[in-house]
């Protein structure tokens, strides 16, 4: 069961106004996702839509009229001060059913506004927030979102902590998993021994339903389609079958860099210049790789769970045909041709054979799909809000090396 439990509605800032439950379901099926989060369940207008269009069963699963499952889910932004430092932490919240979701909403409304944004900002600490939700129901699950991303995360270089214990205090006993985020993967996370007792999950943080966003990261479950079994898997690992990750270099905050100066570099080179941009002399945005290296207490990872590293199919097609836009007509034409033949994107990326692919597409695209499956694609890493780029020729790498040599 492939799940994406970090979704947004059209009422969240910087999210597509075309997001509907029907569109989310349509493209989840195309992607190969088996269950979604509702996204933003506390927003009054979106909550009304959820209750109108979905029907909840006795196991806490919501069903569309066309029999696609969802669970109650939202993301909350906390902004506060702790330890003499401003903190900005995003948390994914999962709820066991309508009754508890309504109780969460009432608790929010007593303290904060929830109608202005699908991802509201609350001025409270992770400790207080967790204690409040656990007072409602111990079946609520709280997951630190995109845990290492520079901004808005529990370990981020801009406002994060050095451990979950430091962030959540005595409430850390209620935290069972972290979301890896697109700029890190389980190999990186498992170099930090303090995370050994926490599960690793991965979800998309989808701001639009298009196939290069929805399900770009996902979690694999081997359990019954029941909220209690899903949460048991997240909490214990029993029934957690792994994750689908993007290559960390694809993420927008993998390396250190300064977008305005077109400067980015890996952790080692960044350390040589003390994280200062060689062009403008201002502080670069320190990326996920940097934070992993700061927090890691072992050179090699231990007990790395199973995961697949995949770049979205639309990105592969665009790179092969030299398209700057994944939404171009050419990309859609090839994408739809593949989906019509092989049913879903994950099926294409993970299972379809070389011979079967060559019967439908150019062998050069087949080669890139297979390299992607094997984790052998070259990428120019993302930095300071810029996504990483697939490299299919040496010229791009040579240009980067020349830039670094200048500094």
Does the pLDDT at position 403 exceed 70? no
Q: What is the pTM of this model?
A: 0.95
Among 249, 269, 289, where does a domain finish? 249
More confident residue, 130 or 407: 130
* Domain ranges, residue 162: 2-249
CA distance linking residue 153 with residue 324, whole number of Å: 30
Q: What is the pLDDT of residue 393?
A: 79
Q: Do 208 and 319 have their domain in common?
A: no
Q: Is 200 exposed, middle or buried (0-12, 13-18, 19+ CB in 10 A)?
A: buried
Residue 20 lies in a domain: yes
CA distance linking residue 73 with residue 79, whole number of Å: 20
Among 232, 249, 266, where does a domain finish? 249
C-alpha distance from residue 161 to each of 57, 75, 156, 173, 294 (Å) = 39, 19, 7, 17, 12
CA distance linking residue 348 with residue 336, whole number of Å: 12
More confident residue, 395 or 85: 85
pLDDT bucket at 325, cuts 50 / 70 / 90: very high
Q: Judge contact between 202 and 217, C-beta under 8 A.
A: yes
Mean predicted lDDT score pLDDT of the chain:
96
Q: Do 20 and 143 have their domain in common?
A: yes
Q: Do 138 and 43 have their domain in common?
A: yes
Q: Which of 312, 334, 306, 294 is nearest to 379 (CA)?
A: 312
Q: What percent of the chain has pLDDT over 90?
A: 96
Residue 229 lies in a domain: yes
Mean pLDDT of 44-56: 98
3-state SS, one letter per residue, for 361-392: CCHHHHHHHHHHHCCCCEEECCECCECCEEEC
Residue 165 lies in a domain: yes
Q: What is the pLDDT of residue 44?
A: 98
pLDDT bucket at 402, cuts 50 / 70 / 90: low
Mean pLDDT of 68-73: 98
pLDDT bucket at 401, cuts 50 / 70 / 90: low
Does the pLDDT at position 197 exceed 70? yes
CA distance linking residue 241 with residue 6, whole number of Å: 18
For residue 221, report the phi and psi dihedrals to the nearest 5 degrees.
Answer: -115, 140
Mean pLDDT of 335-345: 98
Does the pLDDT at position 395 exceed 90? no
Q: Do 231 and 323 have their domain in common?
A: no
Residue 401 lies in a domain: no
Does the pLDDT at position 396 exceed 90? no
Condensed to tens digits (0 to 9), the pLDDT of residues 244-278 reads 999 999 999 999 999 999 999 999 999 999 999 99
Q: Do 102 and 14 have their domain in common?
A: yes
Residue 283 lies in a domain: no
Q: Do 13 and 106 have their domain in common?
A: yes
Number of domains composing the chain? 2
Mean pLDDT of 294-321: 97
C-alpha distance from residue 57 to each of 44, 62, 105, 138, 206 (Å) = 22, 6, 20, 20, 25
Does the pLDDT at position 106 exceed 90? yes
Condensed to tens digits (0 to 9), the pLDDT of residues 217-246 reads 999 999 999 999 999 999 999 999 999 999
Does the pLDDT at position 399 exceed 70? no
Does the pLDDT at position 394 exceed 80? no
Does the pLDDT at position 92 exceed 90? yes
Q: Do 230 and 321 have their domain in common?
A: no
Residue 389 lies in a domain: no
The residues with which 241 forms a beta bridge, in sequence order, are none
Q: Which of 133, 153, 129, 151 is nearest to 141 (CA)?
A: 133
Condensed to tens digits (0 to 9), the pLDDT of residues 157-168 reads 999 999 999 999
Q: Do 209 and 98 have their domain in common?
A: yes
Q: Is 406 exposed, middle or buried (0-12, 13-18, 19+ CB in 10 A)?
A: exposed
Give the chain's largest Cα–Cα span.
63
Mean pLDDT of 372-383: 96
For residue 46, report the phi and psi dihedrals to the nearest 5 degrees.
Answer: -70, -40
Residue 130 lies in a domain: yes
Q: Which of 116, 120, 70 is nearest to 90 (CA)?
A: 120
Half-sphere exposure of 3 (CA within 13 A, CB side): 32
Residue 231 lies in a domain: yes
Say which CATH number the domain at 30 has: 3.20.20
C-alpha distance from residue 335 to each of 310, 315, 339, 345, 365 (Å) = 16, 10, 6, 9, 11
């Amino acid at each position: 069961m492939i799940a994406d439990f970090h979704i947004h509605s059209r009422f969240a800032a910087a999210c597509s106004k075309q997001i509907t439950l029907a569109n989310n379901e349509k493209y989840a099926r195309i992607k190969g996702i088996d269950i979604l989060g509702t996204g933003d369940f506390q927003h009054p207008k979106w909550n009304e839509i959820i209750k109108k269009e979905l029907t909840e069963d006795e196991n806490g699963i919501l069903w569309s009229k066309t029999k696609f499952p969802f669970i109650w889910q939202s993301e909350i932004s906390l902004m506060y001060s702790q330890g003499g430092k401003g903190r900005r932490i995003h948390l994914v919240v999962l709820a066991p059913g309508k009754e508890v979701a309504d109780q969460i909403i009432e608790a929010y409304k007593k303290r904060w506004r929830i109608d202005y944004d699908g991802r509201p900002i609350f001025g409270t600490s992770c400790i207080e927030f967790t204690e409040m939700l656990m007072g409602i129901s111990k079946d609520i699950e709280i997951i630190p979102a995109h845990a290492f991303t520079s901004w808005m995360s529990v370990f981020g270089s801009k406002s994060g902590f050095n451990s979950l214990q430091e962030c959540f205090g005595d409430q850390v006993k209620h935290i069972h998993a972290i979301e890896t985020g697109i700029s890190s993967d389980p190999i990186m996370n498992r170099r930090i021994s303090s995370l050994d007792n926490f599960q690793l999950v991965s979800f998309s943080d989808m701001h639009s339903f298009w196939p290069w966003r929805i399900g770009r990261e996902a979690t694999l479950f081997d359990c019954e389609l029941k909220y209690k079994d899903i949460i048991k898997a997240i909490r214990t690992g029993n029934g957690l079958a792994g994750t689908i990750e993007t290559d960390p270099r694809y993420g927008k905050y993998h390396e250190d860099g300064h977008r305005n100066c077109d400067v980015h570099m890996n952790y080692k080179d960044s350390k040589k210049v003390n994280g200062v941009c060689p062009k403008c002399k201002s502080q670069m945005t320190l990326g996920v790789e940097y934070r992993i290296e700061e927090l890691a207490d072992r050179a090699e990872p231990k007990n790395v769970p199973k995961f697949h590293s995949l770049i979205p199919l639309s990105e592969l097609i665009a790179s092969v045909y030299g398209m700057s836009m994944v939404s171009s007509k050419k990309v859609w034409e090839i994408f739809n041709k593949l989906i019509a033949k092989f049913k879903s994107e994950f099926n294409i990326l993970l299972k379809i054979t070389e011979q079967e692919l060559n019967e439908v597409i150019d062998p050069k695209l087949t080669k890139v799909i297979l390299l992607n499956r094997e984790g052998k694609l070259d990428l120019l890493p993302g930095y300071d809000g810029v996504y990483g780029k697939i490299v299919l020729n040496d010229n791009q790498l040579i240009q980067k090396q020349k830039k670094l040599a200048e500094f």
